[in-house]
Structure 1
């Protein structure tokens, strides 16, 4: 395992809790985990370490929200997401860490703006552009999740634009990211992002993910739809700004 100070381990523990909360209640909180892991670990190592914890969080998200998913809504996204994963893998093999984060931050801000604009349009117009939106969001989501585990904000905006109820939103995204994160494993192992020291470190952080998952479940019972959407949008904007300026 990497030799880290007590402060560094504390930051990683907080990030692990944030992963759990993001999986069961507030998807945007995952950006805090991205920031903390990137601050403590080398960029590539942070991506691999966080991916394994996200997979643990996915298991809890499925346990809590599995009955509320709209799985048919995921079918149009699959080809575009797979294409995004491949593009992300190629990009990750050549791009610098700083350039990558800024590109993703700029993309997220653009996605947020387009999503909020689309939500104001008539339902008929949204239906006509559904396939285009699925292709665009899916490709960007696959790309950003492969490069920096930052696909959450992109797909959050997609499902918000679709006006999913809170529970359906969380159930559908739970299945989506469970599949995506598992699909990323071969790419990450092949790129050398995940290794034995990474696994050993994550074993110590798993309890934080578990605690965060239960905290998130408790928070969810206290939120209504409007509050949920506002918090998700604010957290997504904060995450985009962090990636762009950090």
Structure 2
């Protein structure tokens, strides 16, 4: 059996790892974008590119939890429309990510998140939201950036939030639709990261399994928060957390 314990050193790193797992659970079941905070933390623990392979099984477990809980509330059409473009972005990121050094990979991760933040703030202030949403370029652009950013650094949260905010979905449909979209992409990424990037290992998978109780705990907390938190504060929290995590990653 692979020695997954060697991937982390000391109680402090284990505590940080489990804390991040809890945040992933929360992000999938309600507090979207809080999971973005974990991206620079995982990069600190494992390295930017290697961390995406360790985190991917955790994301897949959390995705499944969210999809099961919100299974009757998602909007199928909003998942299907940008999906072809997301797959295209995923392939482009797969090619680029296999050719760039670790330092450039980290910058690309931060750039994807920052683009999502800027777009999200701009959409919040736009008086022409309906016009933007109906435009021909919106779904293809959003889809491509979603696929690219989720492949580069599991960093699709801000872009996905932009898309779902533009659709003006009710709160639970917002969470459910996002969970389905990202789950499809994450499960498609598994063979790509195993056979192309070679950054998903048995040791990393076993390490992810140790985080399952904390993912479930975070999922429970996320469900409670999405029921309790008012819409306005919900949006503000997502934006603030995303900005902070982006700045941390780019330092």
Q: Answer yes or no: same fold by TM over 0.5.
A: yes
Aligned counterpart, 1:202: 208
Give the whole-Å Cα distance in 2 for the aligned partners of 1:18 and 1:107: 20
Alignment of 1:74-89 (within 5 A): 74-89=79-94
State the SS of the aligned residue for 1:221.
helix
CA contact (8 A) 2:49 2:105 kept: no
Give unpaired runs (5+ residues) of structure 1: none
- Structure 2, unmatched stretches of 5+, are none
Q: CA RMSD in A?
A: 1.7
1:35 to 17, 37, 40: 40
Alignment of 1:162-173 (within 5 A): 162-173=167-178
Partner of 1:224: 230
How far apart, CA to CA, are the structure 1 residues paired with 2:111 and 2:49? 20
Query: Hey, what's the Cα distance between the residues in 2 that align with 1:32 and 1:128?
Result: 31
The CA deviation at 1:241 is: 2.1
Equivalent-residue separation in structure 1 for 2:116 and 2:225 (angstroms): 27
- 3-state secondary structure, aligned to 1:68: coil
Residue 2 of structure 1, CA deviation? 4.4
2:28 equivalent to 1:56: no
Distance 1:196 1:111, change over 3 A: closer
Q: 1:243 aligns with which of 232, 236, 249?
A: 249
Q: Contact 1:84 / 1:140 at 8 angstroms: preserved in 2?
A: yes
Q: 2: CA distance between counterparts of 1:147 and 1:133? A: 21
Residue 200 of structure 2 aligns to a residue whose secondary structure is coil
Inter-partner Cα distance in structure 2 for 1:35 and 1:107 = 13
Cα distance change, pair 231–93 in 1 and its aligned pair in 2 (3 A): same
Distance 2:152 2:101 in 1: 11
Aligned to 1:23: 28
Does the 8 Å contact 2:37/2:241 carry over to 1? no
Q: Match of 1:146? A: 151
The 3-state SS of whatever aligns with 2:71 is: helix
Once the two structures are superposed, what CA deviation does each residue of 1:51-78 show, in whole Å capped at 9, x if it has no partner? 1000000111112222221111122211
Alpha-carbon distance in structure 1 between the residues aligned to 2:207 and 2:102: 22
Structure 2 residue corresponding to 1:125, chosen from 131, 154, 157: 131
Given that 2:129 and 2:166 are in contact with CA atoms closer than 8 Å, whether structure 1 keeps it comes out as no
Distance between the aligned counterparts of 1:199 and 1:118, measured in 2?
A: 38
CA deviations on 1:117-150 (whole Å, 9 max, x unpaired) are 3442335422442x31111111111111111111
Deviations 1:22-45 (A, max 9, x none): 111111111222222211113333
* Offset, 1:181: 0.5
Compared with structure 1, are the counterparts of its residues 221 and 124 closer, same or farther at alpha carbon in structure 2 (3 Å cutoff)? closer
CA gap of 1:161–1:97, structure 2 versus 1, over 3 A, is farther
Maintained 8 Å contact 2:120/2:158: no
Matched, 1:91 2:96: yes
The alignment's TM-score, normalised by the length of structure 2, stands at 0.90
Q: What's the offset of the Cα at 1:232?
A: 1.4
Q: Normalising to structure 1: TM-score of the pair?
A: 0.92
Partners of 2:133 and 2:167 within 8 A in 1: no
